[in-house]
Structure 1
Amino acid sequence: MKIELGLDDYLLSKQQRSPVVWDSEAIVNAHLLIMGKTGMGKTTFLRRAINQLLAADSGLRLHILDVHGDITIEHASSVQFSESTEYGLNPFAVSPDRHFGGVRKRIQDFIATLNGCRPIGSRQEAVMRHLITDLYAANGFFADNYKSWLLQDGYTRKYPKRYPTMDDACRFACIKLKQLIIGSDTPSGRALEGLNKVTSKLYRISKQLSASGSEHNPTLMEQALTYRSEAKKYYLEYIENLETGKELDDFIKYESKDVLKSVVERFENLKACGIFKNQAPPFDPLNRAWHYNITALREDEKRLFVEFRLQELFASALEKGPVEKGQCLLRELIIIDEAHLFFRDDQHNILNTLAKEGRKFGIGLVCASQAPTHFSDDFFANVATKIVLGVDQMYWDTLGRKMKLDIKLLNYIRPFEVVGTQMNMKGDTRSSFTLVRVAHRN
């Protein structure tokens, strides 16, 4: 895949026409950074690049994540997302890849994404992890059995196997909460709560005996004997009134009704935001350009949407497997404007994962933002192509350091006319900075 960026501005001043072309087959990876403050032509550059890619005869799929609704592409398959639409994303779809996917990885990514947007407490996180693990198990997906991660796993069922959804998570969490509330009013539930309280008292007495340096404190020993007798009584009552055999496990995992209730409320709020729906977006599978209009979502909802959609795309790429020699190196190109909204500087951020692993699975990432400081050094280093449309002078020193260039060259950049490019080509140990006279073709 190629994008004609323009002509080498220096050689053009010498009356030599030397095209500067971005070629996905010739560079180290297909990732691009586009930097330019407001009014410097980021949207114009993106539209021109997209149109050139669509004009090429290839099977490349473009995913255009549009924050402001201004990256309009003629004949693209466009879908608007809001709380009133009946379609959305499923955050519980599991990649069956034995090494990159699985139930535990999916749960970790889900919780890490929530923490990146709306942090949750450690107790709430633990209960949420148990809930989702049990939800997967109820649907035939088990963390310790990679064969179960397949939708078609060889077992005969009354109903087809499917991934759980946010609706399922809400219902499942509500059922667990009701069981915990109702269970505490049953004989086994009351006995279990009594046993837990007595055990806590015994533990405290044991610590007091240890701290006093003597195990012959008559008062404490008498209290310990009393509590042990009570514990035996509660334990016998619990055993005699068992119904499902899972009461103890559920009590340990969901021991706080308040914490479990807060998780139920969190799931309900996620369901209400309009991102997570059971019906998939109605994109045209034959159209190579999929335009995601997310302008109607709040900023935190946009972050959730983009992270979970990118996780879906990466999981799909993992299922297809690595790009083999002789195949087109680029299967899908993801284009994100205002990319600074979606970065989290941690190992679970999907943008960092795509920058490091996407090339092997045919994924290219195009991120546009206003300043070089919007990207971590690690992400900056993993992107082979940088396009400078014009950044504020306060960032020139940072840009010079990150790109190893003479900042005097930035004086020659002119909006919509001359841009700066740096491409890390295969076989080259260093990447030169080139001023390019923009080709005004759509």
Structure 2
Amino acid sequence: MELQLGIDDYAFRQKGVSEPIVWNSAEVVNGHILLVGKSGTGKTYTLRKLIHSGLKTGGGRVRFHIMDVHGDIEVAGASSVIFSEGTDYGLNPLKINPDRNFGGIRKRVQSFLSTLNRTQSRALGPKQEAVLRNIILDLYAANGFYPDKPESWHLDDGINRRYPKKFPNIEDAYRFSYAKLKQMYIGADTKTVKHLEDVNRKTSLLQRKLKKSHNSLDADADKLEQEIKNASEAAIESFGDYITHIQTGQELDSLIKYDSLDVLKSTVDRLENMKATGIFKNRLPPFENHNPIWRYDLCALSEEEKRMFVEFSLQELFAQAIQRGPVDDIHDVIILDEAHLFFKDDENNILNTLAKEARKFGVALVCASQSPTHFSDDFIANVATKIILGIDQMFWDSSARKMRIDVKMLNYIVPQKTIAAQINNKSSNKVAFKQIYVAE
């Protein structure tokens, strides 16, 4: 795949010679591109240009995935799908990658929890995280997926069933957790445990008093003994109610596993809120399979919903690429506008993962943002191509240090006429930024 960036500005101005600057996927270290420019410098235009150039030279095998956060990257002929609360299609973040090395249930659960903590305004507390982990693991088991049985990670696992096997989704997780909540209310609720703790606490207090008084009872001790008797009777009554209401045989395990009614209720509320966003559905988005450009219109989503959507979407795209296996050239190009909204300096952040590992699986990442200062040094180092369309002056010094570019070159950039680009090819170890004339 080739991308026509423009012509060498120095050769054109000094010699009158048009020397094309071409980005070639077979020559670059990896297909990742960081495109930076303030508003009005032509980011959207440049992205469209890259897409059309890539389609012409991609040999019909490349698909472009446009994560359009503002709904303004319209590309002629693209298959566009809008995502909102009202649509009946979406994502399933609980879909399992059956690859024994890169996938599995434990990795899916951990990735799911980590993504929630990175993308939501309130991270899960330790108890909530443990409860949600147990809910998802139990839900998988209820649907025939087991952490220690890799053969069960496939939908087609060779077992005949009355109903086809399917991956659970957020709706299923909510219903499952709500059912657990009801079981705890009518079965082994925390009242029984609290009565038992009350008996133990008061008995311990009585023993301390007896030690101090050399085993001679006083009025306080007599009163405490009566309180212990009352607490014991309440505990016995509660245990009787618990035994009477045993229905599944799992009530005690659930009480231990799901911590308490309060923690389970707060976790159920989290799942209900996720369900209410409308982006987590079992039905796949209605993209045209034959169309090489898929545009994900996310403008109707809130900032938090956009972060969740992009994280889970890119995780699924990467999982599909891993299942495809190593390839020699690019098959999927992910275009992410306002990429800084989705970046965190965390090794588990999907942008970091793609920058480091996606190349060999045929995935290229194109990140557009207003400044390179939003990204970590490691991320920038893992992106082979950097294109600067024009940065606000307040970011010049910090951008020059981070991108290893002379500040003077930033001054020479004229929006929509000249840009600066660094293309790291396999044939060269050290590459300087080059001034490129792009005006047509």
Paired residue type of 2:32: H
Structure 1 residue 347, shift from structure 2 partner: 2.1
Report the number of matched residues. Answer: 424
Counterpart in 1 of 2:76?
Answer: 74
Seen in structure 2, the aligned counterparts of structure 1 residues 239 and 266 have a Cα distance that, compared at 3 Å, is closer
Write the distance in 1 (CA, Å) between the matches of 2:378 and 2:54.
Answer: 28
**Which residue of 282, 286, 291 maps to 1:282?**
286
Paired residue type of 2:355: A
Counterpart in 2 of 1:309?
Answer: 313
Counterpart in 1 of 2:176?
Answer: 172
Paired residue type of 1:257: L
Work out whether 1:131 is the aligned partner of 2:135. yes
Structure 1 residue 349, shift from structure 2 partner: 1.0
Structure 1 residue 230, shift from structure 2 partner: 6.2
Counterpart in 2 of 1:88?
Answer: 90
Write the distance in 1 (CA, Å) between the matches of 2:79 and 2:61.
Answer: 15
Structure 1 residue 154, shift from structure 2 partner: 2.0
Counterpart in 2 of 1:388?
Answer: 388
Seen in structure 2, the aligned counterparts of structure 1 residues 20 and 198 have a Cα distance that, compared at 3 Å, is farther
Structure 1 residue 299, shift from structure 2 partner: 1.1
Work out whether 1:114 is the aligned partner of 2:77. no
Partner of 1:34, secondary structure, is strand
Partner of 1:258, secondary structure, is helix
1:22-66 deviation digits (Å, cap 9, x = unpaired): 111101110000000111110110011111112233210100011
Seen in structure 2, the aligned counterparts of structure 1 residues 154 and 123 have a Cα distance that, compared at 3 Å, is same
Counterpart in 2 of 1:424?
Answer: 424
* Structure 2 unpaired stretches of 5+: none
Partner of 2:358, secondary structure, is helix
Partner of 2:396, secondary structure, is helix
- 1:94 touches 1:315 (CA, 8 Å); kept in 2? no
Work out whether 1:257 is the aligned partner of 2:258. no
Within a 5 Å distance, the mapping from 1:144-155 to structure 2 comes to 144-155=148-159
Paired residue type of 2:340: H
Structure 1 residue 343, shift from structure 2 partner: 1.1
Seen in structure 2, the aligned counterparts of structure 1 residues 363 and 182 have a Cα distance that, compared at 3 Å, is same
Write the distance in 1 (CA, Å) between the matches of 2:332 and 2:165.
Answer: 28
Write the distance in 2 (CA, Å) between the matches of 1:49 and 1:111.
Answer: 35
Moved more, 100-109 or 290-299: 100-109
- 1:184 touches 1:193 (CA, 8 Å); kept in 2? no
Paired residue type of 1:37: K
Counterpart in 2 of 1:23?
Answer: 24
Write the distance in 2 (CA, Å) between the matches of 1:405 and 1:428.
Answer: 17
Counterpart in 1 of 2:366?
Answer: 366
Paired residue type of 2:24: D
Within a 5 Å distance, the mapping from 1:334-413 to structure 2 comes to 334-413=334-413
Paired residue type of 2:9: D
Q: Report the TM-score when normalising by structure 1.
A: 0.88
Paired residue type of 1:274: G
Partner of 1:3, secondary structure, is strand
Seen in structure 2, the aligned counterparts of structure 1 residues 74 and 254 have a Cα distance that, compared at 3 Å, is same
- 1:83 touches 1:275 (CA, 8 Å); kept in 2? yes
- 1:177 touches 1:257 (CA, 8 Å); kept in 2? yes
- 1:194 touches 1:234 (CA, 8 Å); kept in 2? no
Q: Report the TM-score when normalising by structure 2.
A: 0.89
Percent identity over the alignment is 53
Write the distance in 2 (CA, Å) between the matches of 1:55 and 1:398.
Answer: 37
Moved more, 33-42 or 156-165: 156-165
Seen in structure 2, the aligned counterparts of structure 1 residues 83 and 345 have a Cα distance that, compared at 3 Å, is same
Partner of 1:367, secondary structure, is strand
Partner of 1:167, secondary structure, is helix
Partner of 1:143, secondary structure, is coil
Structure 1 residue 200, shift from structure 2 partner: 6.8
Seen in structure 2, the aligned counterparts of structure 1 residues 190 and 66 have a Cα distance that, compared at 3 Å, is closer
Partner of 1:26, secondary structure, is coil
Paired residue type of 1:66: D
Structure 1 residue 265, shift from structure 2 partner: 1.2
Write the distance in 1 (CA, Å) between the matches of 2:243 and 2:275.
Answer: 39
Moved more, 349-358 or 229-238: 229-238
Write the distance in 2 (CA, Å) between the matches of 1:216 and 1:129.
Answer: 49
Write the distance in 1 (CA, Å) between the matches of 2:282 and 2:214.
Answer: 63
Counterpart in 2 of 1:33?
Answer: 34
Partner of 2:330, secondary structure, is coil
Seen in structure 2, the aligned counterparts of structure 1 residues 205 and 359 have a Cα distance that, compared at 3 Å, is farther
Within a 5 Å distance, the mapping from 1:3-18 to structure 2 comes to 3-13=3-13, 14-18=15-19
Write the distance in 2 (CA, Å) between the matches of 1:205 and 1:33.
Answer: 66
1:289-337 deviation digits (Å, cap 9, x = unpaired): 00111111111111111111111111111211222xxx4x111000011
Structure 1 residue 156, shift from structure 2 partner: 2.0
Structure 1 residue 194, shift from structure 2 partner: 4.6
Structure 1 residue 85, shift from structure 2 partner: 1.0
Write the distance in 2 (CA, Å) between the matches of 1:200 and 1:107.
Answer: 38
Paired residue type of 2:402: K
Partner of 1:86, secondary structure, is coil
